[in-house]
Amino acid sequence: MTVTSAGTLLALITLVALVTLVVRPRGASTVDFYLAGQRVGVATNALAICGDYFSAASFLGVAAAVYVSGLDGVWYAVGFAAGFVPVLLFVAAPLRRFGEFSIPDFLGRRLASERVRLVAVGVVQIVILSYLVPQAVGSGITWQLLVGHGLPGLSAYATGVVLSTAVVAALVAFGGMRGTTWTQAIQFLLLLGALVWLAAAVAGSGFHYSGAVAELSAEPLANPVNDEAGWHLRPENNHLDPAAPATFGQPGAAYGPLAQFALILTLVLGTAGLPHVMNRYFTSPTGTAARMTTVWVLGLAGLFYALAVMLGTAARQQIAAAVDDHPWLEELTVDGILRVPEHALPVLGRIYGGDSGLAVVAAGALVAVMSTIAGLLLAAAASWGHDVYERHINPRATQSQAVWAGRASTAVVAVTAGGLAIAMQPEEITPAVPSIVAAMVTWAFAIAGSALTPVFLLAIWWRGTTAAGATAGMVVGGLVSVSMFVVGALPVGPGIGEMLMTPTLVSAPLAALVTWLVSRATTAPDDVERQWLVLHGTAADRYAERLARLTIAGPGSAPGRPGRRRRRDADR
């Protein structure tokens, strides 16, 4: 890494830190944006949700997946973006209206059962851990590329892992980094900015998207492998049509027919069960605002992923063409194809922007990773500290004991995630999956989508869900999905392996079925009717809107002024 890129990186990170600390709304009018559904407030909350959601997997992993597998890699992008549609349709508004602070809180109060709450805490912690490990892996890989060497005694990869988890854990535990709406929103804007800059640089230099896809699909898709013959290119098998070669623009380079659907479905169902994202829904002022926030998220996510896919394609074409002009690419590539696909975006940045370009992309990646790690650590530590420690271990905890419980759990979770990331040598798993980071995040989605989403949906939309049913459903969903991909990680053969890695096709319906059956056999909680009023009625929303209107109206507004008629009156 040169001085220029180090300098740019440092400057960018400092800028972000300054902006988030200094720029803060001061007047009454800016807070008013958040009262009951004002558009700016909804948009900012959407930015914050995106800040939590978009991680290394989205930024580096999707482009890497597209780079390696072409169209099959694009399914990651599609799945990640699509996940918010079920959230909008089924979860957003009722979750907010019920008014709890986390998924275990919600399920525990809805089903009136402490056991449900504890099981949900367990599942949530597993999901958080499986989402954390790929973040650490992503930062290790970025550090490896950015700096190239590590602290004494550690490899570059291990240094990256340790630094990112340790720094963020320290900031969260002691530095007061609490993931406020502002900081998350600004961090996402930086991430989006880096991506947009890169896309503009690529497009500006004469990149033709359609033409590139055609050109890349003209020849068989081949990727580097390292075996007895050393590093060389090996063509991918076409899982859909074994007779024909796999190409960039056609599906089949990585997944067989069933596995294509399984992957997408896993990602779609998993978003609703992601704890750190769902926790942000509780801060919308009304249920309706929560819904509109999700619409904004869909728009932002669509933009983000469309750009990422385009950049993955550009990387495949441009990096191969650039090897001659950039000698530093020699050691990273084999015949013009990168050995580690996650390097795609940073390398592209360096090609188009020199060292500063690399720094911009690296800053984006690091910011994405750190803000997601912070959100995950907060969710995990708050859950350990509140759900487990304060409610069960030490109900008479004082304020400072609670603080230390939170800090201790942050440290433990961070160390566990870092340790797992280091133990898991990425090079071992790389040949089996298009992008190691995206694949690992898929596990988190698989567990969330199998154990949490079915129970969630049933609890919100069916009165008959019972505590016993929910517990059974969560346990079944979690166990089946975990065991399926433990089996899939073992060498079982090409098509089956991918199938098992995305077990939601089997485990989610199973969990739903089990929940339904067990709930039929047991009795529902007593106050279901009253909960229904809260979940699906808008009385609290209307009160909040009314209060917001009264708060915002300044002393100068005249009562006789004809305001716009309420929207429900106008039949337009």
Residues 397-456 that bind another protein (CB under 8 A): 397-399, 402-403, 406-407, 410
What's the min distance (Å) between Cβ of 419 and another protein? 22
Q: Which position among 148, 206, 491, 555 is part of the footprint of another protein (CB under 8 A)? A: 555
Residue placing its CB nearer to another protein in the complex, 240 or 489: 240
Give the residue with the Cβ less far from another protein, 47 or 340. 47
Site for another protein in 512-531 (CB under 8 A): 526, 529-530
Cα(551)–Cα(546) distance, integer angstroms: 9
The values of phi and psi at residue 338, to 5°, are: -65, 145
Exactly one of 5, 187, 288, 466 binds another protein (CB under 8 A); that residue is 288
Q: What span, in angstroms and rounded, lies between the C-alpha atoms of 237 and 99?
A: 50
Indicate the residue among 208 and 392 with the shorter CB distance to another protein: 208
CA dihedral angle for residue 401, residue 404, residue 410, residue 413, rounded to 10 degrees: -70
Q: Is 85 in the site for another protein (CB under 8 A)?
A: yes
If binding is defined by CB under 8 A, does position 209 make contact with another protein? Answer: yes
Structure tokens at 369: 């990773």
Task: Give residues 154-193 in contact with another protein (rule: CB under 8 A).
Answer: 172-173, 178-182
- How far, in Å, CA of 141 to CA of 143, rounded? 5
Residue 493 or 561: the one with the smaller Cβ distance to another protein is 561
Among residues 110, 87, 112, 115, which one has the least CA distance to residue 98? 110
Distance from C-alpha of 130 to C-alpha of 124, rounded to nearest angstrom: 10
Could you tell me which stretch among 2-10, 12-20, 28-36, 163-171 binds another protein (CB under 8 A)? 28-36
CB 304 to another protein: min, Å: 9
231 pairs with which residues across the strands?
226
**Residue 220 in tokens:** 């068989």
Q: How many CB atoms lie within 10 A of CB 330?
A: 10
Q: Reduced to 3 DSSP states, what percent helix, strand and coil does the chain have, rounded to the nearest 5?
A: 75, 5, 25
- Closer CB to another protein, 149 or 542, in the complex: 542
> Could you give the CA distance from residue 482 to residue 496 in angstroms, rounded to a whole number?
15
122 forms part of the interface with another protein (CB under 8 A): no
Footprint (CB under 8 A) of another protein, residues 257-276: 257, 260-261, 264-265, 268
Name which of 217 and 416 has its Cβ closer to another protein.
217
Ramachandran angles phi, psi of 568, nearest 5° = -80, -15
Residue 334's DSSP bridge partners are 337
Site for another protein (CB under 8 A): which residue of 53, 59, 67, 75?
75
By CB under 8 A, what part of segment 309-368 binds another protein? 309-310, 313
Residue 34 near another protein by CB under 8 A: yes
- Residue 554 binds to another protein (criterion: CB under 8 A): yes
Distances (CA, A) of 82 to 87, 88, 443: 9, 10, 17
Nearer to another protein, 9 or 82 (CB): 82
Which one of residues 194, 213, 254, 484 is an interface residue with another protein (CB under 8 A)? 213
Binding to another protein by residue 61, rule CB under 8 A?
A: no
Nearer to another protein, 11 or 393 (CB): 393
- Please, what is the minimum distance in Å from the beta carbon of residue 163 to another protein? 21
Output 326 or 407, the one with its CB closest to another protein: 407
Kindly write down the DSSP assignment for every residue of 201-223, as one continuous string: HHHHTT--HHHHHHHHHTS--EE
In this chain, which of 295, 323, 408, 424 binds another protein, going by CB under 8 A?
A: 295
Give the phi and the psi of residue 337 in degrees, each rounded to 5. Answer: -110, 135
Asked if 400 contacts 421 with a C-beta cutoff of 8 angstroms, the reply is no
In three state form, how does the secondary structure of 182-205 look? HHHHHHHHHHHHHHHHHHHHHHHC
In whole angstroms, give the CA distance from residue 55 to residue 133.
12
Does the protein bind another protein through residue 228 (CB under 8 A)? Answer: no
Told to check if 200 binds another protein by CB under 8 A, we report no
When the beta carbons of 214 and 486 are compared against another protein, the nearer one is 214
Restricted to residues 495-514, the positions that interact with another protein (CB under 8 A) are none
Q: Of the candidates 90, 197, 237, 429, which one interacts with another protein according to CB under 8 A?
A: 90
